[in-house]
Copies of this chain bind each other. A is one copy, B any other.
Amino acid sequence: MPVLVMKFGGTSVATLDRIRRAAKRVGVEVAKGYDVIVIVSAMSGKTNELVGWVNETSPLFDAREYDAVVSSGENVTAGLMALTLQEMDVPARSWQGWQVPLKTSSVHSSARIEEIPTDNINAKFGEGMRVAVVAGFQGISPEGRITTLGRGGSDTTAVAFAAAFQAERCDIYTDVDGVYTTDPRVSSKARKLDKIAFEEMLELASLGAKVLQTRSVELAMRYKVRLRVLSSFEEQSDEAGTLVCDEEDIMESNVVAGVAFSRDEAKMTLVSVADRPGIAATIFTALSEAGVNVDMIVQNISEEGRTDMTFSCPTDQVARAEKAMDAAKGEGIINFHELIADTDVAKISVVGIGMRSHTGVAAKMFQCLSAEGINIKVITTSEIKISVLIDRKYMELAVQALHDAFELDKAA
């Protein structure tokens, strides 16, 4: 029988009633003839509670013990989901990560999935079991210890199972009903997309659209897993939600798929850096070694052997960046006048695979912002994305103006 993977996030299994509701959705797919693999998160709030206890007990915790503690929430929902399905006369059983076994690397608290043997679960499907409920987010290391995949890891678990079992589709049930052209809280004209390409979803996910974990989208793209995002709180048809798929599967699409934004970016400027060959490499190696995730980089024109270097990084890494630069200056590796941190900025991005074949997207974006009197501080581009840093106070205005300019409220 064809296999379907269905993943339910924390809000979708937050109470026994919601677990029942989710189980009913599973029952619908079973009735259609699917063998179903259900991936569950912990009840919403549970993992945060466990993480809080670990942090309070041991601020610099042993990640192996962290994993042993925080993985327990998923075990509870997996068992309860299996029991709920059994009550509905759907043959089901639960699996914890180590029982599958979902084999991972030994990098505790952010382990990578290495292998998912299918024989165990397939044998049970062969015996008439219709639903395998698997605790998401967790696996087992080569040393036989419990690992976790990092926050949001249940999405990744679901996609990995879909790839391993060659599932027809991987449905991600969540508390939103799909992927939107932008955040509906910022623009009332935001429109739900029926389909979006993996590459676009990846850019949106990494830009902070919290619908799917970036790693899960990467994995789906690599293994060509058809991924659907839909709401567990509404009655669903086969066409509900948003399908994340290969761009070949999208017949018509707008040049720009969506407008993303982030408030959590800071603009950092190293003023008057002594310019010499290799100075950029030196600076960004030092930042990387300090664990600073640099996003945008701009180097101004050099004057008299000195230059200004501007980069952006997450706001909560500003202190770390400052410490790393001061240390490098102290050691004489880098010479600069001062480091200015500007946390009062926002990043606005337009994303769309159509940019590959359409010119003028950047020009249109800059004109639109200029017409609203919004000054652009930094620009970066990729093949399918253009991002700018602007004053934070203009963020909502910029999003709304760009949404209008690219006519995202209208389907292609």
Q: How far is the CA of A66 from the CA of B58 in the complex (A)?
A: 31
A82 within 8 A of B: yes
A94 to B71 CA separation, bound complex (whole angstroms): 14
Q: Are A96 and B50 in contact, CB atoms less than 8 angstroms apart?
A: no
Contacts of A80 in B (CB 8 A): 53-54, 57, 65, 69
- Asked whether B144 lies within 8 Å of A99 as measured between CB atoms, the reply is yes
- Minimum distance in angstroms from A168 CB to a CB of chain B: 27
Chain A 199-239 interface residues, beta-carbon cutoff 8 Å to B: none
Which of A83-91, A246-254, A390-398 binds B? A83-91
Chain B contacts for A69, CB-based, 8 A = 75-76, 79-80, 83
Size category of the binding interface on chain A? 35 or more
Can you add 6 more A-B contacts, CB < 8 Å, to A65-B94, A72-B72?
A: A16-B56, A62-B93, A65-B86, A68-B75, A68-B78, A68-B94
Contact A16 B57 (CB under 8 A): yes
Report whether B72 and A75 are in contact in the complex, using a CB–CB cutoff of 8 Å. Answer: yes
Q: Which residues of B contact A93 (CB under 8 A)?
A: 62, 64-65
Quick check: is A336 within 8 A (CB to CB) of the other chain? no
Known: A53-B16, A68-B94, A98-B98. A61 touches B76 (CB 8 A): no
Question: Which of B16, B68, B78, B87 touches A96 (beta carbons < 8 Å)?
Answer: B68
Are A58 and B72 in contact (CB-based, < 8 A)? no
Q: Give the residue name and chain of the B residue nearest to A59 (CB).
A: B87
- The chain B residue with its CB closest to the CB of A144 is B99
Question: What are 8 A-B pairs with beta-carbon distances under 8 A?
Answer: A16-B53, A16-B57, A53-B76, A57-B84, A58-B84, A65-B79, A72-B72, A72-B75
**Is A146's CB within 8 Å of the partner chain B?**
yes
Residue ID in chain B nearest A55 by CB atoms = B83
In residues 17-67 of chain A, which contact B (Cβ within 8 Å)?
19, 50, 53-54, 56-58, 61-62, 64-66
Docked CA distance A68–B75 (Å): 7
Residues of B within 8 A of A145 (CB): 99
In the assembled complex, the Cα of A56 lies from the Cα of B56 at a distance in Å of: 33
Q: How far is the CB of A61 from chain B (nearest CB, A)?
A: 6
Chain B CB within 10 A, most for which of A19, A53, A72, A145: A72
Question: What separation, in Å, do the CA atoms of A61 and B68 have in the docked complex?
Answer: 26
Q: A54 to B83, Cβ gap below 8 A?
A: yes
Q: Which residues of B contact A53 (CB under 8 A)?
A: 16, 76, 80
Contacts of A75 in B (CB 8 A): 68-69, 71-72, 75
A87: chain B residues at CB < 8 Å are 57-58
Interface residues of A in 136-190 (CB under 8 A from B): 144-146
